[in-house]
Amino acid sequence: MVYFILALLAIWLVLAIVGVLIEGLFWLALLGGVLFVATAVWGRWHGRPDI
């Protein structure tokens, strides 16, 4: 599960960087950033052991 989350984070990061580097794809940078944060929060939420 950890590798899956890391793979998703890497994909979203690449999308965000491509969106920043290529003019006119600012929407891709925003989408990549939002998905990166959402995946990080989801991974953190599901990665915690129940107390």
Residues in the chain: 51
Answer whether residue 51 shows pLDDT above 80: no
Q: With bands split at pLDDT 50, 70 and 90, how would you rate the model's confidence at 37?
A: very high
Show me where the domains of the chain are located: 2-47
pTM metric for this prediction: 0.72
Helix, strand, or coil (residue 37): helix
How far apart CA 12 and CA 41 sit, in angstroms, is: 13
